[in-house]
Amino acid sequence: MVRAVVLVLVFAVAAVAQRKGRHERWPFGNDGNAAASMLQKRDLFNLGPLGAKAWDADRPEPSAERASGRQRFENGGERGEDVGPKRLLVRALFGGGPAQKAGLRLDDVIVGVDGRDFQGGCFAPLADAILRAEAKTGKLVLQVERAGKALSLTVKLKKLGKAASNPEAGKQRDRLLKAACAWLADHQQGGGFPETLGGTNGAVVMTCLAGLAWVSVGSSLKKGKHKAELNSAVSFVLRNLGTSRSLGDTGANWDQTTWGYAHAAIFLGELQLAGGSKKVAGELQEIADILCKRQEASGGYGHGPGGRNALGYIELNILAAYVLCGLSLAEQNGCEVDAQVVDKLLGYCRESAGEDGGVGYATGPGQKGMGNIGRTAGTWLGARGLGRGGDPFPQRMKAYVQKHIAAITDGHASLQQHILLAGIAAAALGGEVEQAYWDGGLRRDLTLARAPDGSFHPRPWHESLLMNSNTDVSMGEVWTTASWAIVLGARGTGRRGGLPGLCGGR
């Protein structure tokens, strides 16, 4: 009887909390349970610091349940413009956030902002209204349909002044970067982060990315606000490197640990440049040796050792880009890197590329010549960091990056990965290329990715809508928050922070 009363009280408290808006299916539309299975997370449009997420009200709503994360992408159907839905069906609210305080409810449909409807797509008008509110007015007005009735809701945002108009620079950039790094620090557990996609190996990757964000704001193992977090992160990464989780006795190769080693080389390399230790230097050489030994006979790299993976292939050049960057950081820290491995890897990437220098997926049938910004930007960064920037192929890659710097949705698998690699390359190139990155849609995406607590969130795009699966959603908030923080912090401010190993002018 007592147990029954306790249970009733627990459910009553939970119901009151739900009514008060402590969580309204935040962050991924799965009844507010952030720890729910990655296969239950919904792929929703984030509405920036308003603290709301929505689905396209004119598109059939997919089930939160998916039978498998193993889906093969077939590029078919119309991609359309990347402008966002015309009507937004609210599916999640940040408890106590600006949108909820303004009276927005689940199942409301947002059709416009500040007197302008979304007939041309919601992305641009919504992002512009947010930037305008933060820079000038302190508020924006949402046009909403609720149960067939039209109403207007005034959402109040913190008025930050003129600097808020350019969130990628100056004071506003520093605010966003500081808040993101603080959010990452608050969510660190046992030195790392909770496992999502990729299990322990995925947690290693996310810990390396969070570490790079903390390095970019001027912290190291010896100084800075995030010194303690960095020391814990190093311990977690070194303790868990190489851990691979089997997905049952399927006979398939599920080893994906090369991702962990490549990211560890980048993280520890930048950390060492910022002020590391003898222990980190020794581990960095060992990681570089492992990466060199893992090269396939073709010259390319697969997810991990052991032959063909569960989908029947080995090489993929998005991973080759991270390996090159990792080897470049190791070499910049005085480690020995086999020049023949570098030559062979660049040769493989060159074989996959088109005449324009865009790095293809791999060298197999249908994989060559289909370049995209993520693969090419990452490969170019690694080649330049290894002192190969003046060679003919890296020069062609550089030209491709300069031309396609904002072509993020031409990527594959993870939109955030292409935002990250292109963003670092934009910071490395600076000037007109960096401006083109932000003006080409990334300022808009940065604004809409934000959440009231300082974190950053993914959004649907043509591939995730086609597949009913979004890798960035499966990876979770740490992945997107750390990636955006790295983009914001890559160049540093004056003599403070930044990522000189990736962005330096070697």
- Average pLDDT on 130-155 reads 97
Are 108 and 92 spatial neighbours (Cβ–Cβ below 8 Å)? no
pLDDT tens readout for residues 261-284? 999 999 999 999 998 888 798 999
> What span, in angstroms and rounded, lies between the C-alpha atoms of 254 and 316?
15
- Average pLDDT on 58-68 reads 68
From 26-30, 186-190, 293-297, the region with the lowest mean pLDDT: 26-30
State both tokens at 382: 């690694």
* Percentage of the residues of the chain whose pLDDT score is greater than 90: 80
Q: What element of type H or E holds 465?
A: helix 462-467
Report in angstroms the alpha-carbon separations of 21 from 13, 30, 55, 103, 476: 12, 15, 20, 11, 22
pLDDT surpassing 50 at residue 395: yes
The pLDDT of residue 79: 59
State both tokens at 440: 């080409």
pLDDT surpassing 60 at residue 69: no
The pLDDT of residue 18: 41
Are 205 and 263 spatial neighbours (Cβ–Cβ below 8 Å)? yes
| DSSP structural state of residue 391 | S
State both tokens at 449: 């990715």
The pLDDT of residue 10: 35
pLDDT surpassing 80 at residue 19: no
* Best CA proximity match to 318, nearest among 421, 405, 190: 421
3-class secondary structure, 460: coil
pLDDT surpassing 50 at residue 77: no
Strands (E) located in 343-450? none
Is the pTM above the cut of 0.85? yes
> What span, in angstroms and rounded, lies between the C-alpha atoms of 124 and 128?
6
pLDDT tens readout for residues 182-226? 999 999 999 999 999 889 999 999 999 999 999 999 999 999 999
Write down all domains in the chain, each with its CATH number in brackets: 24-59+82-162 (2.30.42.10), 168-503 (1.50.10.20)
* Best CA proximity match to 262, nearest among 295, 288, 237: 288
From 232-236, 451-455, 497-501, the region with the lowest mean pLDDT: 497-501
> What span, in angstroms and rounded, lies between the C-alpha atoms of 420 and 177?
14
Name residue, tokens 């995030």: 226
pLDDT surpassing 50 at residue 298: yes
DSSP codes, 109-155 = EEEEETTEE-TT-SHHHHHHHHHHIIIIISEEEEEEEETTEEEEEEE
DSSP codes, 36-89 = S-GGG----EE-GGG-EEEEETTSPPPPS--S-S-------S----SS--SSEE
Q: What angle do CA 368, 322, 224 make, to 5 degrees?
A: 155
pLDDT tens readout for residues 46-57? 999 999 999 999
- Number of neighbours of residue 175 by Cβ within 10 angstroms: 16
The pLDDT of residue 31: 65
Q: Give the strand pairing for 45-46 and 52-56.
A: antiparallel
